[in-house]
Every structure is written in C-alpha cells, then in structure tokens.
C-alpha cells in the first residue's frame, strides 16, 4: 500500500439506523497513479523552490530605525510623514512595520541598506478595511510604502511621532515588537494564483486528465501548504482572500507579508487570523521605487 492509501486508509461510517457502525472501503489509489503523481509533485517542489527572508518577532529594546512591527515609526526631522488620500484625506497613517535592510540577512533582489516602511489607515469601519481597497488594491489612499535610502541613527535629528493608542482597535497591530530575519526556502504555496494552473498541468501529464481528483488535491495541499509566517520574498499565504495578482500581473514579487501572531509586546490580528501582503513589480523593486505597490489581506 502506497503513502496515499496509507494516508486515507479506510473510513468508518456513522450508523444511520441505530445499528452497528459499518467499515466501508476507503479511498484506494491505483499504485501506478500514485507513483506518477508523487514523482510529479516532487518535480514541482524542485521547480518552484525559492529563497526568501523569514522574519521572526523579537521582543526587546527598539530604536526608531529598528526592524519592527508597530511602535514608534522612523521619521526624519522635518521630513515626510504619510497621510491618507480619498476617503482618508488628511488623516495620518499608522506604522504597520518597517525593515532596516542593514540589520537583516542579504537576499538577492532586495536593497542591502535603507529602511522600508509600511503604513496603513486605522479606521476599520470604512469600505477600505485596514486601508486596503478590494476594488483596486494598488490604490494608495489608505496605505503607503516609504523607503529611506539613508538611515539617520541619531534620535536628536528625528521627529518624535508617538503611536496613537486610540487607533489600535482599528489596526491589525497593537503594541510593538522587533523583527529578526534568516534566509530560508519554500516551494510555491497553494494560495499562489499560479498554483491551480500548475497542478492541472501536473495531473494532465501524470494521469492524462484535466480533472484534478480529490486525492491529488489533498496530497498537493500537504506538500505545498499555505505559509502563514512573516516574510519578504517567496510565496504568499493568503488564507481567506484570493491572490489578486491574476488581475495585476506586473506585481509579481512578494515584498512583505505580515501574519497574525503575538508576542509579549505585540498582538497582530488580520480579520479571521489571516495575513497582510504587499506585492511589487520586479523592475520597481530593482529601482527602489515603491510608489506602485499592491496591498491586500485575508
């Protein structure tokens, strides 16, 4: 018996007439089909494996220029502070997270220095929940991504912007916490907008059909999963919202993902324990141009 038959085995039906429970035949997979699908899944893992920067909450002392979630934002004295537009016109946005690349491991394609900040609107009662616009996730009315190529590490030269505790109930982040990073690798996630097409092609080659059987879909979900951590690069782990990149094909790179999580000094909650994700076009990323970013959560 192969690993898929071992996984599904036999199933036990609940009695419907008050009598004894009957053992019914479980899902049995043709060994040849199992072998073909297993080999195809292995190949897809190898083909889609990529490096990314895994981020971890790290409680401790925070500076304005630290890599962190929430807390006091880095703002240069007399410098720009992002405010909303449209429905959020004039309202100050709030720091979701910031990444100091000089503190983090180098990942090809990312800046080696500078500070990248993610700001979102606080008012969850409006149509743009957490500043996101489902109709146009590239519209920056309720969010902003700001890059500082040069980081000033002298607090006397920085503006003191204190987080507003009254805004916290309407933000995905309450409190503040540091971030550390390490290079890791992962295959394509099952929530990536390209995954269904790749899975269908796999089944077409392995089984000669465009219909993906349930046992194949279950096996693929086990192999690829849905990453639910904090990260830069790699594949998204959107749990309850579709990947919007099929409608915005230029924004292919996962710039930043922040997941629901908690530590001693911070609580991160996206709706029903989802993730927030920001995507950017590779040429924009190479130019450190973050004026056109796609933001969604789910």
**DSSP assignment string, 82-138:** -B--GGGTTPBPEEEEEEEGGGS---TTS-SSSEEEEEE---TTSSSGGG--TT-TT
User: Which residue ranges in the chain fall short of pLDDT 70?
Assistant: 1-27, 124-128
Average pLDDT, the chain: 88
Q: Which helix (H) or strand (E) holds 186?
A: strand 173-186
Q: What is the dihedral of CA 298, 95, 127, 260, to 10 degrees?
A: 20
Query: Model's pTM, two decimal places?
Result: 0.87
What's the pLDDT at 29? 80
What's the pLDDT at 23? 34
In tens, the pLDDT along 225-263 reads 888 899 999 999 987 778 888 899 999 999 999 999 999
In tens, the pLDDT along 185-220 reads 999 999 899 999 999 999 999 999 999 999 999 999
E-only strand ranges, 197-285? 230-232, 253-259, 261-263, 266-268, 275-280
Q: Is the separation of the CB atoms in 34 and 216 below 8 Å?
A: no
What's the pLDDT at 15? 37
Please say whether the dihedral angle defined by the alpha carbons of residues 65, 69, 161 and 75, taken in this order, is positive or negative. Answer: positive
What's the pLDDT at 61? 86
């Amino acid at each position: 018996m192969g690993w898929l038959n071992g996984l599904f085995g036999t199933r036990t039906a609940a009695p419907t007439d008050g009598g004894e429970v009957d053992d019914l035949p479980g899902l049995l997979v043709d060994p040849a089909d199992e072998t073909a699908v297993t080999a195809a899944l292995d190949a897809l893992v190898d083909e889609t494996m990529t490096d990314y920067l895994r981020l971890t909450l790290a409680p401790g002392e925070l500076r304005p220029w630290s890599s962190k979630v929430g807390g006091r934002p880095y703002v240069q004295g007399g410098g720009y502070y992002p405010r909303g537009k449209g429905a959020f016109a004039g309202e100050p946005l709030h720091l979701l997270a910031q990444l100091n690349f000089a503190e983090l491991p180098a990942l090809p394609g990312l800046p080696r220095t500078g500070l990248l900040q993610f700001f979102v609107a606080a008012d969850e009662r409006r149509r743009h929940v957490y500043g996101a616009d489902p109709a146009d996730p590239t519209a920056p009315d309720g969010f902003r991504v700001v890059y500082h190529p040069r980081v000033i590490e002298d607090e006397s030269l920085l503006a003191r912007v204190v987080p507003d505790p009254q805004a916290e109930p309407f933000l995905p982040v309450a409190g503040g916490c540091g971030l550390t990073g390490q290079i890791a690798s992962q295959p394509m996630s099952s929530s990536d907008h390209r995954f269904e097409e790749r899975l269908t092609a796999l089944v077409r080659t392995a089984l000669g059909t465009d219909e993906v059987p349930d046992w194949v879909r279950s096996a693929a979900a086990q192999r690829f999963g849905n990453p639910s951590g904090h990260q830069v690069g790699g594949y998204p782990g959107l749990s309850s919202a579709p990947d919007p990149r099929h409608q915005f094909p230029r924004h292919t790179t996962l710039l930043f993902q922040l997941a629901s999580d908690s530590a001693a000094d911070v609580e991160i909650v996206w709706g029903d324990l989802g993730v927030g994700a920001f995507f950017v076009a590779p040429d924009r990323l190479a130019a450190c141009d973050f004026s056109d970013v796609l933001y969604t959560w789910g």
